[in-house]
Amino acid sequence: MLRSAPSILVVTIALTLVACAKDQGSIGSAQPGGRLAVAVLKTAAGVEVGRATVREVVGGLRVTIDGRMMPAGTHGAHIHRVGQCDAPDFATAGAHWNPTATQHGSMNAMGPHQGDLPNLLVGSDGRGTLGINVQDAQFGSLLDADGAAMVIHAAADDLKTDPSGNSGARIACGIFVAN
């Protein structure tokens, strides 16, 4: 019986490798030739406080945020539909990016829209990171004629109140630029 234990281990490893190979086409896998856009996040005073990246992946878009020198706490993070970030309130970024015409929030039965992201958690050191795959989102829809912006809000998003999640003032904004 001891001789069969190594055989079982080999079979288990082989099955695991096969399962991983089959998963390569799932949402979030790198897309060959996938496009990339980066937004430099700045405060109304023009201080750089991080970067947001959107990358084409199989089945949608991968959105990442790397924040620094931000106020500690929980902040709403949304992709907004216009690529403008005029201070002081960044209102020129418009409403949330919503190409599917749904309501706001992952906890809203009629949502979420594609610009809804989870809250950005910022530590006492001023740093926060976020990464999420937005299923079925299209790069061309995001970077249409008027572009898009990443906006960080002052308060936590409640993930359900339409249209903004009660996430408060816009404290940082960055315009997505395709690379």
In a domain, 156, yes or no: yes
Name the residue range of residue 156's domain.
36-178
Radius of gyration of the chain (CA): 20
Q: Which CATH number do you get for residue 146?
A: 2.60.40.200
Let me know if residue 163 belongs to a domain. Answer: yes
**Number of folded domains that form the chain:** 1
- Supply the pTM of this predicted model: 0.81
Is 5 within the bounds of a domain? no
Phi then psi for residue 147, to 5 deg, are 70, -160
Domain-embedded: residue 19: no
CA-CA distance, 117 to 37, in Å (whole number)?
Answer: 17
Residue at 149 is within a domain: yes
How would you write the pLDDT of the chain (179 residues) with one tens digit per residue? 445 545 443 443 444 443 433 333 445 566 666 899 999 999 999 999 999 999 999 999 999 999 999 999 999 999 999 999 999 999 999 999 988 888 777 876 776 788 889 999 999 999 999 999 999 999 999 999 999 999 999 999 988 887 777 899 999 999 999 98
Contact 176, 147 (CB under 8 A): yes
Nearest 5 degrees, angle CA 57-CA 137-CA 24? Answer: 25
Instruction: Identify whether 15 is part of a domain.
Output: no
Within a domain: 13: no
* 161 within domain boundaries: yes
